[in-house]
Each structure stands twice: as C-alpha cells, then as structure tokens.
Structure 1
C-alpha cells in the first residue's frame, strides 16, 4: 500500500534534506541547460558541428574525470568534494557570463565551459551517491534513492526542459547562463550547511573514507575488493552491456522508426519520452513507499530485464500507440531496478571504497553509450536496424539467465540488521588492505 510518510521519511533528517535540495536544484539546472544550450550556440553563430563539439566536450569531461571523482570521494570529505565541484561549475558559468557581457563570447569558450561542467558532474555525482549513507539510517536509504529517482525523472525529462524552453523564449542567452550559475551557487550553499554526524561509518562525512585501522585504502586495493565480489563486478558488466545494446537504438534509431515506419513526428516522440518519465515517477513513488523485498537483488535484475525486453518488439509495432505502453514498461521497470541497485551498493559496499565502486559503475555506463551510438549509425539498412532492436531486447534476457545461474544473489543478506548487513562486505575488504606482494 502506498505510504507518503514513508516515501518522505528521509527528508526528516536535516543533513540529507540539504543534500536533496542541492540535488533538486542541480537537476533542474541540468534540464534547463539541456534545452537552452543549442540556442546559446546558435546565438553565437554555431552550426550542428559546433553544438556536437560542445556536447562532446561535456561527455569527455564526464568520462575522463569519473574515476577521479570516486577516488576523491573516498580520500577526502565528501561534503567538500561535492561543494567544490559545484563551485567549479559556478566559476565556469560565471566566466562565460562575464565574457558574454564584453561581447567576446565564442564557441571554443562554450566548449571549455562544457568540459568543466562535465568534469564537475563526474566528481559530484559519485561523491553524492556515496555521501547519502553517511547522512541517513539504512532503513531510509531505499526511500531516499526513490526520491532522487523521482526528481531525476521530473527535472531532466519534464520540468527542466519545459522551463528551459520557456526561459529561452522570454530572456536572452546571457540570462540563461547567469541563472544556471546561480543554481550551482545555491546548491553549493546548501552543501555548506551540512554537518555530518561523527558516528558516520568510516567518518567519511568528516575525514574521508578509511579502513578499520584508519588508513586510506589505495585504489588498487579498491579494485581488488571489486573483483573479489563476483556479484558486484558481474552486475556492473551486465548493466554496461545492456546499455551498449540499448542506448543507441532507443536514443538514435527509435525517432527514425517513429517517423519512417509509423508516420509520426516530434510531438509523438516527445509523448513517448513523457510517458516513460511518468512511468518512472510512478515506479519511484510505489517502491519508495514499500518495504524492501527480502530478495530484492534478484528482483532488481528481473526488473531491469523486464524493462529491456520490449525493445525487441518496438520495430515491429503497426501503430505508434502500441509504443506507449512499451515505453511505460521500460520507464517503470528500469527505474525499479535502478533504485534497488543504488540501495544495494550503498548498503553492501564498505564505506572505504564506496565512492570508487560507484565511480566505476558510472564509467561502465558512460563509456559504452558513445559506442552504442556509433553502432546505431553504422548503417541505415532496414534489416540491420531490425536486428539491432531484436538483439537489444533478446540478449539482456539471455544475459540475465546466465547471471542468475552463475551468481547467487541470495548470498546478499537483505533481511539482516544494518550492522550485520555491512559486516560481510567489511570482512571481504580486510584481506585487500594488506600490501600487495
């Protein structure tokens, strides 16, 4: 049964509430910037190639700095890592605004700012995910991840782009740059008010993440821990392979399928994206208000698979309206899997390596998306496109069957107390903290 009080329980904690407000503001800023950026580039006389350079620069910043972000989150106070990454984004946008006032703003400067913004996101993202368990009791982590999923769906897919479209029609590009800079400033101010409790596991909120003896864990030992935990690296590889199979067909080929095969247009594609976002919000509300299932790691993998499978049928549908329930299915079940995954990592990975594990997970997601786009653009042959959709929907199912057979997710004790639940992971880290031979 739906319980609003359970869904909002994490916001009772002042420290997490400030982190959440910063997250909301930054997500809204991202949604606005996503829509406004092409118009800013066009005002500077840029073409599609120039815009591609700007977007590509942000992706380069993300991919090149995400592992650094994880290392910083485990080595230094996570509050400081998040706060200073917001300040860096603020500085980049403020510099753009100043140059804009002088009338000297050029595309290459926009590219440089995009690179900084991507790097800032790569550093703040893993740190924020790793910081959440330092600010909340374990029983509220599931609801917190669901809340953040709701905000991400609303801000990036709906409210943010709609607000960006409205603002760009009412004000000039200078105002958009300033507003985005202000959003990062407010987010940084929110982070500055957080006062992590001294009892936070590993003192990550105050002193950086350390092992049981108070020694920072080297990156190579974090990698050793990761590869010693079969369930962890297998699921990271699983999700990376599924993104490789699915992101290109969904983001690049599906609009052409709607246009060429179903006689649809931009409004139809927008309706499909909105349907996906609404289903994601509904899923987040539902699972955030319910107690975690005892075997939720298994349900997580099955939910991801249920969200991926409809892609195999999308290229065969006779009507656009049949795509809508398929999009809703993807939005609903992929969100369920993502929320469960965040909770699983936050509760099962030791604090001393949590930031780096999260950053490796991010890298696995980010690095393969451009390759998926390349595969989607290899050929416009209809048979090739059909096979990409079919394989994108069928192979995740086969990967899931293999994973369930090879990895026993039941070993993750999700019915234990918070102390007992963390104990196995901490014990696994102990041998890895010894010097390498």
Structure 2
C-alpha cells in the first residue's frame, strides 16, 4: 500500500493492518513510529522545561521578573519564526528541519545544565536559551505537520492526528512535568536539564535514522532567497484568503481562542476558589481532568471514520464544546466543574483531530507547511490578547458573565461560519469519506 502523497511503501503487510485498532494503525508504518517517537520526546522535553526553569530561576536567586522575561523570550521566538518556519518547511527537507530543531533544543538545554553545574548560570543565559527553544519550535511544528502525510497512508491521517492529541496532554502536561519534578526533588534543577537535553537528543536521533520520504512538493526557487521566501509567504496568504473553508474555520478559531482561552488560563483558579470549590489541589485536579478529557476525545475521534459532514461536525463540536464553560462561572461544587472541563476538553480535542486531518488532506502538499504555520500563528497571536483582556473584563462584568460569554459566543460564531462560508455545500463538493 502506498503512503498517501509519496508513493513509497514502508508499511507492514496489508493483513496486519486490520489486526490493529483504528487509532493505532499509523504505527504500522516504520517511519511514522520514528516520527511519533520524536514528537513524543519533544513534547516531554517541553513539559520538563516548564517545571525545571522555574526551580532553576529560584536556585540562582532570581525571581518572577526574570521568569517572566524567560517566558516572553520563548513566546517571542516562537511567534517570530512561525511564519518563516512554514515557508522553510515547503522549501527544504522537513526531516532535516526537525532534526536540526531537536538538536538545537538539546544543545540549549545542555548548555544550561553545564553552566548550572559550574555555578555560571545567569538569567541572561536562560533568556537566550528560551528564545532558542521558541525559535526551534517555530520551525519544528510546521515541518512536523507537513511531514505526517508523507509517512502515513491517507486513510490513517485521522488516527495520526488523534495520536498527537493524546501525546500532547499526556507528555507535555503530565509525564514531562512529573519527571522534571522527580529529578529536581532527588537531585537538583541542573539534572532536569540534563534529562531535557537527553530527550531532545533522542528525538533528533529518531529523526536522523528515519528514511527521507520521496516527495516532489518542494517550492525552492532560484534568485534572491529573501525575495523568494516573501513570495512564497505571499502565495500562502493568497491561498488562504481565496479558500472559503479555511477563511471560515480560521475566523472561528480566532474567536474561540480569544473568547475561551483567557477564561480557562486566567480565571479558572479564581472561580474554583471564590465559589468554594477548593484550593490549589482542586485546581490541579480540574486541570488533570481537562487534559484527560482531551485524551479521551482524541482517542474517540481517531477510532471513528471521518464524518461525512466533517466541516460542520468540527465547528459544531468546537462551538458546542464551549457550552459547558457556562458552568464554571456558576457552580460551587468541584465535581460539576470537573465534569464541565472534561466535556469541554473531549469535544474540542476531538474537533482538533478533524482539523489537523483536513489540513493534511485538503491543502496541497506544496502549501501545507505555510498553511500549518499560518494556523499556528493565528492561535499564538490570539492567546496573549485573550489573557490580557480577560482580567479587565472579569473586573468589569464579573467572572460568571465572562464564562457565560465564553460558552455562548463560540457556538454562535460556528453557526455563522458554517452558513456564511457555505461549508455545508463545500463538504459535500469535496467528500473525504471512504477511509476504512
């Protein structure tokens, strides 16, 4: 069986495919096993960094201001390179981009470990490394998204995106931070950075031994590299703006992140405390159940065939999945709030699995890196604005009103997007069913 866009067969025999449950079928492809391992290791490393850097800042006598600068440097590096990363992913070897990105992260984390061990570590060093990590991720994620269709059969793309939806909360939000915390408690923060460097080095090794897919979708051009890169980026924007289903979906996505992202990130701990549902432990449990909902939603969606009305189902699941947020501003029982977060995580993560699959199946391979980076850039841009606005909004209207708005607005915009972008007609004109 051929692998979607590549025409290369590195899968196991066809009968073996049917022995695997649908969510696990991508693992029958050797190159995907290596690619998924590299992704999982990278996510674990990012989760470990989030914990290790906090305690390392404390260990060198720095404080919240320095930690804020470190987080800002990472975010700026990521946002600044997200669009360029998409252009490069469509012009160069995506496998090599992932390899270099993971190697850069390993070197950065390793330099922190060495400097900390020698008592030479400074906040400036951590800020510089955080910027490197952000830049590396700006190149890594578009390259990864564009490489998946080249190593996974088309019928298994939904399952592959489901696997990513499971790995992200499991490794980045649970296993990675937990491992870093254990290392720090037994040894020192510097040992956590040794482990971070090791996992990124392993991710680079997995990518290095993965066979390069045979693709013919490069867009590299002769002439001035800056001008050609700008031309490629302009072509990506032109494709986006002339493709109604992308315009409609990304417009909805901006609204979703802007309206719902900030309340969960900023207001949830205050809602739990002020409404008598508990304290820090209750907040941690609520976040864990939110992540568990995402895992269940991703697994469930990856086990099902792609819906015939895939655009409508996706937007309605995203929008409808926000309705439980209304409970967070009113409930005074932790169990009810946890149930609402679980349902929200399950529905929105399931919709995210569909979205990743649509990008990989409907966007031309030569354009996939740029469109993936544009999607990434939109989400990155809206999230900080949401967190900046949600505090003043809560002070003006109250937490309950803000969560109510976060519950109602996304579904309203989803219905409008389906109607105005004529998505119901579009999904019938471009059927993607038939995966088995």
Give secondary structure in 1 for the equivalent of 2:321: helix
**What are the ranges of 5 or more consecutive residues in structure 2 without an aligned counterpart?**
1-18, 222-227
- Which of 20, 23, 28 is residue 12 of structure 1 equivalent to? 28
What displacement does 1:380 show?
5.7
Partner of 2:376: 362
Give yes or no for contact 1:244–1:372 (8 Å, CA) kept in 2. Answer: yes
1:344 alignment partner in structure 2: 358
Name the SS of the counterpart of 2:206 in structure 1: helix
Deviation at 1:108, TM superposition (A): 1.2
Which residues of 2 match residues 203-352 of structure 1 at below 5 A? Answer: 203-204=216-217, 208-209=218-219, 218-352=232-366
Asked whether the equivalents of residues 146 and 287 of structure 1 are also in contact (C-alpha less than 8 Å), the reply is: yes
Shift of 1:4: 5.4
How many positions carry a matched residue from both structures?
408
Q: Is the 8 A contact 1:243 1:369 kept in 2?
A: yes
How far apart are the structure 2 equivalents of 1:221 and 1:85? 25
Question: Is 1:105 aligned to residue 126 of structure 2?
Answer: no
* 8 Å CA contact retained: 2:34, 2:207: yes
Cα offsets for 1:172-214 (capped at 9, x unmatched): 111111111111111011111122342x4xx25xxx3579xxx
CA distance in 1 between counterparts of 2:202 and 2:388 reads: 38
Cα distance in 1 for residues equivalent to 2:277 and 2:349? 29
Is the deviation greater in 3-12 or in 146-155?
3-12
CA distance in 1, matches of 2:42, 2:213: 24
Q: Look up the match of 1:189.
A: 205
Match of 1:414 in 2: 431
Decide whether aligned partners of structure 1 residues 326 and 339 sit closer, same or farther in structure 2, where only a CA change above 3 A counts: same
Distance 2:264 2:303 in 1: 30
Tell me whether 1:94 sits opposite 2:110 in the alignment: yes
Contact 2:329 2:401 in 1 (8 A): no
**Superposition pairs for residues 145-224 of structure 1, below 5 Å?**
145-198=161-214, 200=215, 203-204=216-217, 208-209=218-219, 218-224=232-238
Q: Which runs of 5+ in 1 are unaligned?
A: 419-437
TM-aligned CA distance change 1:307 to 1:128, over 3 Å: same
Regions of 4+ moved over 4 Å? none
Partner of 1:421: none
Q: How far apart, in 2, do the equivalents of 1:320 and 1:41 lie? A: 33
Q: Which residue of 1 aligns with 2:400?
A: 386
Equivalent residue in structure 2 for 1:54, among 70, 75, 100 = 70
The Cα of 1:50 is off from its aligned counterpart by 1.3
**Residues 154 and 293 (structure 1), Cα distance of their counterparts in 2 relative to 1, 3 Å cut:** same
Instruction: Return closer, same or farther for 1:416/1:285 CA change in 2, 3 Å cut-off.
Output: closer
Measure how far apart 1:353 and its partner are: 1.0
Contact kept? 1:81, 1:127, Cα under 8 Å: yes
Asked whether the equivalents of residues 258 and 265 of structure 1 are also in contact (C-alpha less than 8 Å), the reply is yes
Give me the whole-angstrom Cα distance separating, in 2, the residues matched to 1:122 and 1:348. Answer: 23
2-structure distance, mates of 1:10, 1:189:
20
| 8 Å Cα contact 1:306-1:329 kept in structure 2 | no
Say which is worse superposed, 125-134 or 48-57, in terms of deviation: 48-57
User: Which range is displaced more, 255-264 or 335-344?
Assistant: 255-264
Structure 1 length normalisation: TM-score? 0.89
Per the TM alignment, residue 89 of structure 1 is displaced from its structure 2 partner at its CA by 1.2
Residue 408 of structure 1, CA deviation: 2.2
State the distance in 1 between where 2:241 and 2:307 align.
27
